[in-house]
Amino acid sequence: MTIASMLRALALSAMLALGAASAHAEPALAVQQITPGNYAHRGHDDVATPANGGDIANVGFIVGSRCVAVIDTGGTLAEGRQLRAAIRRVTPLPVCYVINTHMHPDHIFGNAAFNDHHPQYVGSAKLAEAEAARADNYLRALHRELGAVADGSEIIPPTLSVDGTMTLDLGERTLTLQSWKTAHTNNDITVYDEKSGTLWLGDLLFVGCIPVVDGSIVGWLEDIARIKQMNPRYVVPGHGPLNVPWPQSLDAEEQYLAELARDVRAAIKRGETIQKAVDTIGVNQRGKWLLYDVYHRRNVTAAYAELEWEQ
**Which residues bind to Zn ion, rule: CB under 5 A?**
104, 203
For residues 53 and 75, which CB has a smaller minimum distance to Zn ion in the complex?
75
Q: Is 36 helix (H, G, I), strand (E, B) or coil?
A: coil
Instruction: Give kind and range of the element (H or E) at residue 33.
Output: strand 32-35
Considering the complex, state which of residue 84 and residue 107 has its C-beta at the smaller distance from Zn ion. 107
Report the half-sphere exposure of 81 (CA within 13 A, side-chain side): 14
Residue 205 vs 278, nearer CB to Zn ion? 205
What's the min distance (Å) between Cβ of 70 and Zn ion?
17
Q: How far is the CB of 80 from Zn ion (least distance, A)?
A: 17
Closest CA to 195 of 168, 224, 164, 227: 168
Q: Is 204 helix (H, G, I), strand (E, B) or coil?
A: strand
Rounded CA-CA distance 180/182 in Å is 6
Residue 1 Cβ, how far from Zn ion at the closest point, in Å?
Answer: 60
Judged by beta carbon, residue 127 or residue 277, the one nearer Zn ion is: 127
CB of 100 to Zn ion, least distance (A): 10
| Total Cβ atoms within 10 A of residue 9 | 11
In contact, 224 and 251? CB cutoff 8 Å:
no
The closest of 31, 32, 37, 33 to 196, measured between CA atoms, is 37
Cβ contacts of 285 within 8 Å, gap of 6 or more: 210, 256, 259, 292, 296
Report, in Å, the least distance between residue 184 CB and Zn ion: 6
Q: Which is nearer to Zn ion, 84 or 102 (CB)?
A: 102
Integer angstrom CA distances of residue 97 from 33, 68, 158: 19, 7, 10
CB of 101 to Zn ion, least distance (A): 8
193 vs 203, beta carbon nearer Zn ion = 203
